[in-house]
Amino acid sequence: MNLWRTKTIEQSIADTEEPEHQLRKRLSALDLTVFGVGVVIGTGIFVLTGQAAGVQAGPAVALSFVFAGIACALAALCYAEFASTVPVAGSAYTFAYASLGELVAWIIGWDLILEMALGASTVAVGWSTYFADVMSSAGITIPDWAYGEGHNLVAATIVLLLTAVICAGIKISSHVNMAMVVVKVGVVLFVIIAGLFYVKASNYSPFIPPSGSAGAGGVESTPSLLQELGFAPGTFGVAGIFTAAALVFFAFIGFDIVATAAEETKKPQRDVPIGILGSLAICTALYVAVSLVITGMVKYTDIQVDAPLAEAFRSVGRPGFATVISVGALFGLTTVMMILMLGQSRVLFAMSRDRLLPPVFSKVSPRFGTPVRTTVTTGVVVALISTFVPLTELAELVNIGTLFAFILVAVGVLVLRRTRPDLRRGFRVPGVPVVPVLAILTSFYLMLNLPVETWIRFLIWMALGVVVYFVYAAGHSRLATDPHYSREADAAASARRKG
């Protein structure tokens, strides 16, 4: 068994032309950029800003967003090169298959399942909380049978509705996303502009609270792996900025999902890099602005960590503004859910097309031009998780899974530059090997800032994935079972060795 067999880029691209596996190319650079903004701006800006500022970094949380944004930008450059070179569904999974081999590709695909399905479930639970709050403000109480202890049918309902939208076609999904992104970006701009009138310079002092300072009440900071090992002094201070960066990194998750839509893009070599880098730049600027406004409106020790934006306006006598923010959060979280599930369905589709998962899931609907089976499967699983599984402590698994994917994509860029220098690349990472190496080191550092429990759960999930690979995927993969397919891969590998 050759665990390191690679699928050539030529094979990957040829697969996209097979009639039963052919997705419709309907997306533009604008669509991809809006997809990126739609999935990135969500829980992070409406929730994590409060926790990061209140218990970890103080007003310097703005620097945490900058650092997390830089870490993402390093990885985004690597994603942009791969997506412009291999415009195929699957994102990091497909990139790994072309550069690092089948076992690594399976591991990253398994990792993406963790990132996207769990991420969508987490967001769905958050959405239901905001929905209940908005309904309560309107005098409507959600019955206990729909939203109560141990069950959350509200979250399941929104997940299944979005599943239907995704099944209906990529362009319809794009239109729905566009409308909701306009609303939520409008709300974010409203927060920035309206909040400026209530900013007090004294709230920024100290901008970087001394290490060990008392923080806001309502939540406790979980020690990171670095802290447990004795390499970091704890919350606040300069170290607190980086600890907060590992937390607010969750707010940036999603730009990589733009790459999963490469196969459905009209001009992927040009448009995918624009979508990835453009959406990341827009979101970073908005995050920094919002964090500066909120910590200027409210002293970091007084921030309400559960709903920092809404409570900031309530504290200055503007409760009506808080309702507007809650509605904006609903729209924001809706697009995050939808695009995470869309990305998940495309990763499963790509893995199924390679027969690492049952091939029945790789069929494309002739009517809608979408992989309906993987989409419905994704929707049902996410709905079940969000209905019955408590997700508070599992949310950080999404962070560590994404960072791990970033590392492997950066490694893949270095490998493919060496093994396939002849490839036509629509976008090239500048400063190779420095930029990919920095992406690897930065992502790994952020991983070290996550709790020990998160590392343990992640390693357990990865170990389970390796078992599934050897039990099923290794013996059923297209490279293992299709002689013609395997010969093409061997010939390409031999040619590279001779070259």
Which strand (E) or helix (H) includes residue 114? helix 102-137
Alpha-carbon separation of residue 59 from 64, 66, 298, 340 (angstroms): 10, 13, 10, 30
119, 129 Cβ separation under 8 angstroms? no
Alpha carbon 381 to its chain's center: 18
The tokens describing 232, both together, are: 């970091």
Before 59, cis peptide (omega within 30)? no
Residue among 357, 334, 330 at smallest CA distance from 345? 357
What is the rounded CA–CA span in Å between residue 203 and residue 194?
A: 17
What is the rounded CA–CA span in Å between residue 386 and residue 131?
A: 15
What is the rounded CA–CA span in Å between residue 373 and residue 389?
A: 24
88, 262 Cβ separation under 8 angstroms? yes
Phi, psi of 154, rounded to the nearest 5 degrees: -65, -45
User: Residue 294, CB half-sphere, CA atoms under 13 Å: how many?
Assistant: 37
What amino acid is encoded at 376 in this protein?
V
What is the rounded CA–CA span in Å between residue 405 and residue 109?
A: 9
What is the rounded CA–CA span in Å between residue 49 and residue 33?
A: 23
261, 350 Cβ separation under 8 angstroms? no
Place of tokens 């009506």: 320
Beta bridge partners of 147: 152
Q: Name the DSSP letter for residue 255.
A: G
**Residue 42 burial by Cβ neighbours in a 10 Å radius (0-12, 13-18, 19+):** buried
- Which residues of 138-283 form beta strands (DSSP E)? 147-148, 151-152
62, 397 Cβ separation under 8 angstroms? no
219, 5 Cβ separation under 8 angstroms? no
pLDDT at 218: 59
**Residue 301 burial by Cβ neighbours in a 10 Å radius (0-12, 13-18, 19+):** middle
**Angle at CA 351, nearest 5°, toward 350 and 357?**
140
Cα pseudo-dihedral 116, 84, 255, 162, rounded to 10:
-50
Q: Domain 9-491: which CATH class?
A: mainly alpha
Cα pseudo-dihedral 224, 229, 232, 236, rounded to 10:
40
What is the rounded CA–CA span in Å between residue 88 and residue 171?
A: 18
Q: Name the DSSP letter for residue 221.
A: P
What is the rounded CA–CA span in Å between residue 8 and residue 157?
A: 41
Beta bridge partners of 35: none
pLDDT < 50: residue spans in the chain: 496-497, 499
pLDDT at 103: 93
Residue among 257, 245, 213, 300 at smallest CA distance from 450? 245
With H, G, I as helix, E, B as strand and everything else as coil, classify residue 94. helix
What amino acid is encoded at 274 in this protein?
I
